[in-house]
């Protein structure tokens, strides 16, 4: 015998291998050889782990289980033992007609199949298929095997079906994995949102285009006023050191408050100043004129002349509305010559002369002008 073949070679029928498969033909040949010198009890041949390890060292436990099951499925042999990876034995009979082969003792297989988990235990194809039905990747399944084997070997417990226990174990681990993954993604998403939205105020901050549009177009606030408010707003929030995701909203509120205060200050400002180029009388002026029965169209026609006169005179007053009231009342009375007509009528009836008042509107008080109704008699 050649040194390259120190052991007895395996004899495999080529035609049989072509029919049932090379692995299946090889195992069948080995089982047949054992059957020639080992007594079969009731037609059943017992092959324990030690014997199978010597006969088939080139196959793993998973391979032995797979190939023996294939032979059974093809109807060539009968199996009376539990799957090899859990029972660690094969109880085999050649399928020469099921009627001629009595069934194995029903008590023996369960007792033999309840064993400790083997250190090299592997799930079979059927178990992998059942686990895959839960959309669990095979790579994840394989990762759970070492932990599963270590756990049950340390506990020293025996089981009739390690496959069922493994299925339960994998499903539990997969749920834990999915829950942890979802929690991690949620936390990462929240961190991203916080980093993206909550920012500190910086020296180059400017309001968005939408914020400017709200202030200028909708709130009718001067763009120059809005621009002037930015440095103050930035400095205030920089010094506070706060972070926010609503800086534009805060800025809109800030500018609106400042605009109201600004207009209120202008309205109640008593400091004398020149009349502005675009000055127009306030709504209160026309209310007073309406109560005095003065035509409002007449009053509006006086605005250009009034504005031109006081712009050229370059004088200052604290209330241009008051001056305009005096101006309109004076010219309304002058146009209708009411004061002169009434004075002449009174003098002709009374037979005496009353001097006509020559006091200018500039010399009379606002109270006198508002209560003077001599022109309407």
Indicate if the pLDDT at residue 15 is higher than 90: no
Using the structure block, give the residue that is written with the tokens 């146009």: 335
pLDDT given for residue 256 in this prediction: 92
Exposed, middle or buried: residue 187 (CB in 10 Å: 0-12, 13-18, 19+)?
exposed
Task: Report the percent of the chain where pLDDT is more than 90.
Answer: 9
Across the range 238-245, mean pLDDT stands at 86
Q: What is the CA radius of gyration of the chain?
A: 54
- Cβ density class 61-72: b for 16+ within 10 Å, e for less: bbebbbbbbbbe
Among the residue ranges 72-76, 146-150, 243-247, 364-368, the one predicted with the least confidence is: 364-368
Q: How confident is the model at residue 100 (pLDDT cuts 50, 70, 90)?
A: very low
Q: pLDDT digits over 197-211, tens only?
A: 678 888 888 999 999
> Which residue has better confidence, 250 or 336?
250
Q: Which residues pair with 48 in a beta bridge?
A: 89
Distance in angstroms (rounded) separating the CA atoms of residues 109 and 105: 7
pLDDT given for residue 261 in this prediction: 81
Average pLDDT, rounded, for the chain: 78
Indicate if the pLDDT at residue 54 is higher than 50: yes
User: In whole angstroms, what separates CA 322 from the centre of its chain?
Assistant: 60
Indicate if the pLDDT at residue 257 is higher than 80: yes
Q: pLDDT digits over 332-371, tens only?
A: 877 775 555 555 554 555 444 444 445 555 555 555 655 5
What backbone phi and psi angles, to 5 degrees, belong to 362? Answer: -70, -25
254: nearest Cα among 279, 277, 284, 229: 229
Distance in angstroms (rounded) separating the CA atoms of residues 167 and 21: 30
Across the range 14-27, mean pLDDT stands at 88
Across the range 91-113, mean pLDDT stands at 54
Across the range 26-54, mean pLDDT stands at 81
pLDDT given for residue 357 in this prediction: 47
Spans of all domains in the chain: 14-113, 127-192, 209-267, 283-376
> Which residue has better confidence, 110 or 92?
92
pLDDT given for residue 162 in this prediction: 84
Distance in angstroms (rounded) separating the CA atoms of residues 139 and 119: 20
Kindly provide the residue ranges of all beta strands, DSSP E only, lying in the chain, ordered along the sequence: 45-48, 77-79, 89-94, 115-116, 158-159, 199-200, 243-244
Across the range 107-120, mean pLDDT stands at 63
84: nearest Cα among 65, 56, 101: 65
For residue 150, what are the CA distances in angstroms to 112, 118, 119, 154, 159?
A: 22, 10, 8, 6, 15
Indicate if the pLDDT at residue 252 is higher than 90: yes
Q: How confident is the model at residue 1 (pLDDT cuts 50, 70, 90)?
A: very low
For residue 42, what are the CA distances in angstroms to 93, 235, 328?
A: 9, 98, 134
Backbone dihedral region for residue 281 (phi beyond 0: left; psi -120 to 50: alpha; all else: beta) = beta
Q: Which two tokens stand for residue 309?
A: 């006169």
Q: Structure pTM?
A: 0.30
Q: CATH fold of 14-113, please?
A: Arc Repressor Mutant, subunit A (1.10.10)
Helix (DSSP H) and strand (DSSP E) numbers for the chain = 18, 7
């Amino acid at each position: 015998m050649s040194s390259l073949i120190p052991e007895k070679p395996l004899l495999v029928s080529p035609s049989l291998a072509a029919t049932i498969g090379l692995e299946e033909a090889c195992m069948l040949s080995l089982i047949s050889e054992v059957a020639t010198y080992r007594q079969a009890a009731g037609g059943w041949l017992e092959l324990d782990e030690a014997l199978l390890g010597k006969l088939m060292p080139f196959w793993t436990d998973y391979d032995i289980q797979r190939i023996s099951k294939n032979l059974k499925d093809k109807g060539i042999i009968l199996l009376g033992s539990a799957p090899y990876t859990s029972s660690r034995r094969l109880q085999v009979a050649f399928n020469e007609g099921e009627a001629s082969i009595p069934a194995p003792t029903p008590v023996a297989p369960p007792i033999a199949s309840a064993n400790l988990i083997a250190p090299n235990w592997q799930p079979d194809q059927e178990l992998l298929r059942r686990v895959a039905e839960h959309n669990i990747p095979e790579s994840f399944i394989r990762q759970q095997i070492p932990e599963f084997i270590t756990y049950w070997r340390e506990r020293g417990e025996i089981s009739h079906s390690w496959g069922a226990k493994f299925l339960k174990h994998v499903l539990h681990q997969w749920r834990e994995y999915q829950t942890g993954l979802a929690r991690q993604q949620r936390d990462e998403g929240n961190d991203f949102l916080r980093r993206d939205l909550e920012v500190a105020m910086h020296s180059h901050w400017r309001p968005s285009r939408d914020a400017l549009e709200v202030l200028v177009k909708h709130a009718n606030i001067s763009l120059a006023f809005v621009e002037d408010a930015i440095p103050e707003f930035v400095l205030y929030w920089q010094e506070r050191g706060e972070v926010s995701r609503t800086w534009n909203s805060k800025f809109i509120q800030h500018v609106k408050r400042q605009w109201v205060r600004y207009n209120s200050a202008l309205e109640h400002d008593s400091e004398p100043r020149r009349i502005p180029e675009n000055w127009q009388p306030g709504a209160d002026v026309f209310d007073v004129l309406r109560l005095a029965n003065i035509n409002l169209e007449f009053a509006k026609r006086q605005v250009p002349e009034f504005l031109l006169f006081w712009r050229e005179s370059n004088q200052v007053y604290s209330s241009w509305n008051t001056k305009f009231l005096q101006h309109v009342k004076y010219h309304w009375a002058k146009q209708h010559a009411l004061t002169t007509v009434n004075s002449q009528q009174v003098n002709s009836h009374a037979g005496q002369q009353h001097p006509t008042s020559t006091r200018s509107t500039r010399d009379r008080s606002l109270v006198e002008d508002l209560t003077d109704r001599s022109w309407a008699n």
